[in-house]
Structure 1
Amino acid sequence: MALVGYELVRRRLDLPVFEIRRPAMIRPVTRILPTANGLSVPAASAPAREDDLLGHLLFALKHEGVNLPLLAAAAKHLSAEQLGEAVRQTPNGQYVRMLCCVWEHFTGRPVMQDPPVAGGYIDLFDSSKYFVGPAQRDSRWRVNFNGLGTWDYCATVERTQVIMDLVSSKVLEAAREFVQGLDRELLDRTLNWAYLHETQDSYAIEREAPSEDKRRTFVRLLKQAHEPRQVDEQYLVDLQNSIVSNPYNQAVQYRTEQNWLSDGNQGALGVTYVPPAPEDVPALMEGWTTFVNRISGRLDPVMAASIASFGFVFIHPFMDGNGRLSRFLFHKVLCQSGQLGEGMLLPVSIAMKHHEAQYLQVLRDFSRPARDLVRVRAIGEGDYAFSFGADDKIFRYWDATACVEFGLRMAKEALEVELRNESNFILHFDAVRREIDERFDLRGSTLATLVSIALTNGGTISKNKRRRYAEEVSEAAYLAIEEKVRAVLSVDEPGPRDEDEAPTDQ
């Protein structure tokens, strides 16, 4: 079955861009049909020749949407004369106008208009297929650049049913209702737990157990996310310095060296991701910061936070601390939206830790094809030479659909599972502790630990735990704790917690 459209162009020209995941292919169908694996195209609807580069790009714009990295890479293989002839044949054709607009932007050269383009403005991104942003008008071609960002930095997010359903659940509105339903003390205790565990799990994702000083620093950082401040290089440097304790790894600016990620294996094959070259980082980050500072109020805040967080970690602008910073920036963008009350936190890192395999897969969906476009050569012990096959456009224009879906799911779970379970846990904990404390004379720390264990394990305290406290707790007290815990859990059972963990105010 023959390829059509973007994937045919990518392969024929050997373009240094990501493979098209759902390519268009000629199949025995009577009309163009989208499938789970791509686009089925009848032969009569495809360009007549494989070498008709212009025809395949116009076909792709019409039927496959906008792929800016591929269009940028293909631009040098098209001439102004070819495009001018296409304009003369269909001067007001919308896909010709789109292609000319994109070509002029990426080449910096004009296409002759004869006759001049007339008619109404058309959108580059179809709002029925993509989430879009405010229009930036190109008056020559009467095309609106309406992507999520600007020509300098633009992510694309498809209007999938999963994302539409998650957006319609209105997580931040539900978070405000959740806050209103708790008294001040219960809310404070729930949020104290959230800040602490958001910190611990953000570090845990990177296989690190933070020291007490690091925990306090990151909690303070999270609480500063509500402070109104423009995101720029100095702000990000200050953030990086606050979470990286080793002075040798603290930044004074965006990185000026090449960094990479490794799976621990020796040699070039162990290099799993190569972020953009250091000379490309300042311009990429300028586009990224413009997106972050302007997006508030123009896009669902959780979608914006997901794009900002993942986009940051893909650029990897520092030598250390990028992962933790990316997760902090998720909170920063949410708080910038003004839709979370002061001090409110959605503990997305806790949810991410519970779905770590999926989180890593979303990262790999970008990092693996990006790695394939870099030639890595070992030149010494732990040192490599990098030859980039692609320019910075794969980081500048990227498909954020999977990242947004994951971010929305994690924000929803952070509220509906993590925060709600914790508030329920605290209510149950207080109810059990109060009754047992009235009936038995137990040390406060021991009682708190046993109640937490019983709540965690569905109303059971194991034999090992009983032996641990055998000299200070009677069998009657154990039975009373288990009985009371089962009673409260029968009403509203909380989710799993870490064993031996009492609420953080104890």
Structure 2
Amino acid sequence: MRTAAKDTSGLLGQAWLRQQLGLAVPPPASEARLFAGARRTETDGDRTIELYPPGYAVESEVVAHLRFALRHEPTDIGIMVAAMKAIDPAVIEGWVLSEPSGAFSRRAWFFYETFVGRMLDLPDAAGGNYVGALDPGRHIVAGRRNSRRHRVVDNLLGGRGLCPVVRRTARLKRQMDLAVDGEARALVAAADPAVLARALGYLYAKETRSSFAIEGETPSAGRVERFVAALRAAPRLDPTDKAAMVALQAAIVDPRYAADDWRDFQTFVGETMGGHREVVHYVCPRPEDVPGLMEGWATLFDRLMDPAIDPVAAAAVASFAFVFIHPFEDGNGRIHRLLIHHVLARRGYSPDGLVLPVSAAIMRDRRGYDRVLEGFSGPLSGLVDWRWTGDREVVVANATGDLYRYFDATAFAEYLHERVLDAVRRDLGEELDFIALFDRALASVRSLVDMPDRRAVLLVQLCLQNDGRLSAAKRPLFAELSAGEVSAIEAAIQGAMAGR
């Protein structure tokens, strides 16, 4: 291949490809740059800047920067696919013919044919060890599927229809090493069966109400019951069955907004300001793209069930990819969070029959939840050409399907790991402890005064809410009790609180 002048403009690899090819995709989460100093890594918010000394400069041509990207960088699938669609196929053909057994040339060839969907004028690879499409040291990858034509291991999380990536960051490695599922199983194993049974009922209700609260809704008792039933049935759901997903949506929304198919209209996520002005936060995929995206989502989902993939990362990728497609008019957010429970249960991460109240943990960190959602929607805002119609409907003028197909899901995996940890240690652990405490306190009260159950329960609740004492304001509710009896009850409850 010809030799070009070294490119000393500053950008390297995928960032260079994005700029030089004019790719209408978000910037990479990890950006490589030349730097007149020693090799080092810097962070800028959620983005990583990899600084390379002048010795890493490469020729000012596409192949040189593709080689750099495949050798040194975690793969930004959005940039990689957009680059393959933008360059002349003869560039890849020439590279492969000059390096037929090269690991980087064969990976580029694999990406081209997989995502462009066009066979290049090349014979099947005859030599070279099999190499992963994604570097498993830099990415969460699926199990081995060999592409014999390229002698490449297709370890992608998804396929051409939908293929997010998850970088193996230091933070994600630490989170996976915590093995929070083991903590959950230990808590369940140590719990009294009667206490556990009561805790489970509470956790299902808490998860349901929290999931609605995230949407700003207060559900009726009937809607709570239907969603609890859906949560309990979540492990048996087949999310790749379109009919099952449509039925699920119908079961959890107001019957007037039940769907019988994927949406066939444009929609967006926004809010009304000042009672009249609508602000758009996120423009959803065009309706004509939804069927293909959901087919891609089904393929992605199947691959995420691979035991090689971290279960929490799998739950994050599946659930967030779903909500970004937004295949229904209503219920997408609740289904998104229900899918988290489905994946954790199906992958054996959640103890049998237990729902980890992830939505409750999200409610305690709404700012973090909104931040990761905006991390996806924000970069898209300048890439989606949309306008209002005269009827105040949104219309998208440009092709945007790939923006929703190929994205970096690392932040979602990290965020969900954080929330699962909080749900186990705070919601599950504290609820089991509280029920055990409540039972001790209630038994103590009953040993002192033979009260009706409802009144004894109320008395214990009021005392536990006030550090073991019945407040003066609540004292008239129990006028039948003497001052001595109240003092004895308070002492007994405080003893229960102290574990005595």
CA deviation after TM superposition for structure 1 residue 346, in Å: 1.4
Residue of structure 1 in register with 2:42 after alignment: 35
Query: How big is each residue's C-alpha offset from its partner over 1:419-452, in whole Å with a ceiling of 9 and x where there is no partner?
Result: 1111111111111122123324555434323422
TM-score after normalising by structure 1: 0.88
Inter-CA distance 486–253: structure 2 relative to 1 (3 Å threshold): same
What one-letter code is carried by the residue in structure 1 that aligns with 2:353?
Answer: G
Matched, 1:21 2:29: yes
> 1:242: how far off?
0.2
Determine which of 91, 107, 117 is the counterpart of 1:108.
117
How do 1:103-142 and structure 2 match up within 5 A? Answer: 103-113=112-122, 118-142=127-151
TM-score by length of 2: 0.89
Partner of 2:342: 332
Give the C-alpha shift of residue 280 in structure 1.
1.0
- Work out the CA distance in 2 between the residues paired with 1:356 and 1:483: 39
Alignment of 1:19-418 (within 5 A): 19-31=27-39, 33-36=40-43, 37-49=48-60, 52-113=61-122, 118-227=127-236, 229=238, 231-247=240-256, 249-265=257-273, 270-296=279-305, 297-380=307-390, 382-388=392-398, 391-418=400-427
**Matching residue within 7, 18, 25 for 2:15:** 7
CA contact (8 A) 2:30 2:74 kept: no
Separation of aligned partners in 1, 2:133 and 2:103 = 9
How many angstroms does 1:197 deviate by?
Answer: 0.7
Q: What SS does structure 1 have at the residue aligned with 2:324?
A: helix
Q: Which residue of 2 aligns with 1:500?
A: none
Distance change in 2, residues 1:384/1:84 (3 Å): closer
Q: 1:481 to 1:9 in 2, by over 3 A?
A: farther
Whichever residue aligns with residue 86 of structure 1, its letter is: W
Change (3 A) 1:338 1:44: closer
Gap change, CA 1:367 and 1:446, over 3 Å in 2: farther
Which shows bigger deviation, 261-270 or 450-459? 261-270
Residues of 2 paired with 1:250 and 1:192: CA distance?
27
Distance 1:81-1:308 versus aligned 2 partners, 3 A rule: closer
Q: Give the counterpart of 1:483 among 479, 484, 491.
A: 491
**Rounded Cα–Cα distance in structure 2 between residues aligned with 1:115 and 1:127:** 24
Deviates more, 1:452-461 or 1:153-162: 452-461
**Alignment map for 1:462-501 (pairs within 5 Å):** 462-466=471-475, 469=477, 471=479, 475-476=483-484, 478-491=486-499
CA pair 42-447 structure 1, distance change in 2 beyond 3 A:
same
Paired amino acid for 2:320: F
Structure 2 CA distance, aligned partners of 1:360 and 1:115? 47
- Is the 1:201–1:350 Cα contact (8 Å) retained in structure 2? yes
Partner AA of 2:99 in structure 1? T
Match of 1:437 among 446, 451, 464: 446
- In the alignment, the residues of structure 2 paired with residue 473 and residue 206 of structure 1 have an alpha-carbon distance, to the nearest angstrom, of 44
C-alpha displacement of 1:189: 0.3
208-217 vs 53-62, which moves further: 53-62
Separation in structure 2 between the aligned mates of residue 76 and residue 158 of structure 1, nearest angstrom: 23
CA distance in structure 1 between the aligned counterparts of 2:125 and 2:448, rounded to whole angstroms = 90
1:75 and 1:174, CA in 2 relative to 1: closer, same or farther beyond 3 A? same
- Per-residue CA deviations over 1:309-330 (Å, capped at 9, x if unaligned) read 1111111110100000111111
Task: Spell out structure 1 runs of 4+ moving beyond 6 A.
Answer: 266-269
Q: Which stretch of structure 1 is more off in the superposition, 223-232 or 266-275? A: 266-275
RMSD: 2.6
Alignment partner, residue 5 of structure 2: none
Query: Identical aligned pairs, as a percentage?
Result: 33
Q: 1:136-184, CA deviations, whole angstroms, 9 ceiling, x for partnerless residues?
A: 3222321112122333332212222322222223233333332222232
- C-alpha distance 108-323 of structure 1, shift in aligned 2 (>3 A): closer
Amino acid at match of 2:260: V
Give the 3 Å change call, closer, same or farther, for CA 304–475 of structure 1 in structure 2: farther
Ranges in structure 2 where 5+ consecutive residues have no aligned partner: 1-8
Distance in 1 of aligned mates of 2:251 and 2:347: 24
1:127 partner SS: coil
Residues 160 and 491 (structure 1 numbering): CA distance in 2 closer, same or farther, change over 3 Å? Answer: farther
| Partner secondary structure for residue 157 of structure 1 | coil
Q: Give the 3-state SS of the residue equivalent to 1:24 in structure 2.
A: strand
How much does 1:230 deviate?
Answer: 5.6
Provide the C-alpha distance between the structure 1 equivalents of 2:419 and 2:363, rounded to a whole number of angstroms. 10
- Once the two structures are TM-superposed, the CA of residue 114 in structure 1 deviates from its matched residue by 8.3
One-letter amino acid of the counterpart of residue 42, structure 2: T
179-188 or 100-109: which moved more?
Answer: 100-109
Q: Distance in 2 between matches of 1:12 and 1:269?
A: 37
